[in-house]
Amino acid sequence: MPLTRQRSRVDGHFWYRTILITSVSTSGLALLLQFIGFVTPGWIVLSQPSGFTVSAGVWYIQVCNNSPQCRTASMTRVVNPFNVAGDTKIDFTNWVELQVEVTLAFVLCIAGVLLTVNGFIHMSHSPKSYLGWAALASVISAALLMIPIGRLLDILRQWDSYIVYSTPYSLVASCLGCVCALISALFSLSAMCMILYDRKKERLNSDERDDLTLNPT
C-alpha cells in the first residue's frame, strides 16, 4: 500500500505541480488587477470639450480642469458621478452598492490567493479542501465584481451625450481581474480532479493487491 501511494504521487507530480503554480500565478494576477481597480479613480472617466475632467473611483472622485492640480473628494458625498460632470440625464445605482460589491469581491480574491498558496505549500498532502474553497472564493469574487462592471458597460453601450466617456481603466483592470480569477478557479478544479483520480487509482491498486493476497496462485 505505501509503495502504491508513493508511485501514484510520483507519476502525477510534474503536472500537478505545474497546475498549482499556474493557479497561484493567475490568482495573484487577479488580486493585483482587482487592487488596481479598487484604489484608482478610473471606473468612470468623463471629460467635457472645455477640458473639465471627472474621474470616479470606488472610494474617491477626482475633478480636474486645465490647471495641473486636481480636486479630490470622497465618493460618500456623491450620489451620481455623472451629475458632477453636468449630465443629469444618466441614472445610476447608489454608489454604496458598488462599494460593497467591489469590496467583497476584493476580500474574496485575497482569500482565494491565500487558499491557493496554502494548497501549493501543502502539495504533498493532496489539499483537496484548500483547492475547493479557493475555486469557490475566486468564482464568487468574479461574479460579485461583474455586477457593477455590467451596469457601467450597459451605460457605456447606450452612451449618447456631449460629454466624452473616456477609457475607464479601473473598470478594465477589474474586468481582467475577473477573467484571471475564473482561470485560477479552473486550474484549482483541475488540480482537484487530479487528486481524485490519484486516490481512485490508489483504491483500485489496493483492491488488486487484496485480491492477489486472498487468491494466491
CATH code of the domain covering residue 191: 1.20.140
Q: Against a cut of 0.85, is the pTM above it?
A: no
- 48 found inside a domain: no
Name the DSSP class of 77: G
State mean pLDDT over 52-57: 87
Residue 125's domain spans which residues? 2-41+94-159+169-207
163 contact partners, CB below 8 Å, separation of at least 6: 46, 47, 48, 85, 86, 87
Count of helix runs (H) and strand runs (E) in the chain:
6, 5
In tens, the pLDDT along 176-213 reads: 999 999 999 999 988 888 777 776 666 666 655 555 55
Quickly tell me which residue has 451629475 as its cell: 83
pLDDT for res 3: 38
In tens, the pLDDT along 15-47 reads: 778 888 999 999 999 999 999 999 999 998 988
CA angle 11, 13, 16 (to 5 degrees): 120
Most confident segment among 5-9, 64-68, 124-128, 200-204: 64-68
Return mean pLDDT, the chain.
81
The count of structural domains within the chain is 1
- 87 found inside a domain: no
Name the DSSP class of 122: T
- 51 found inside a domain: no
- 72 found inside a domain: no
Instruction: Give me 80's grid cell.
Output: 451620481
- 102 found inside a domain: yes
- 199 found inside a domain: yes
202 contact partners, CB below 8 Å, separation of at least 6: 4, 5, 8
> What span, in angstroms and rounded, lies between the C-alpha atoms of 118 and 161?
49
In tens, the pLDDT along 104-159 reads: 999 999 999 999 998 888 776 666 788 889 999 999 999 999 999 998 888 888 77
- 78 found inside a domain: no
* pLDDT at position 10 over 60: no
- 107 found inside a domain: yes
Widest CA span of the chain, in angstroms?
Answer: 93
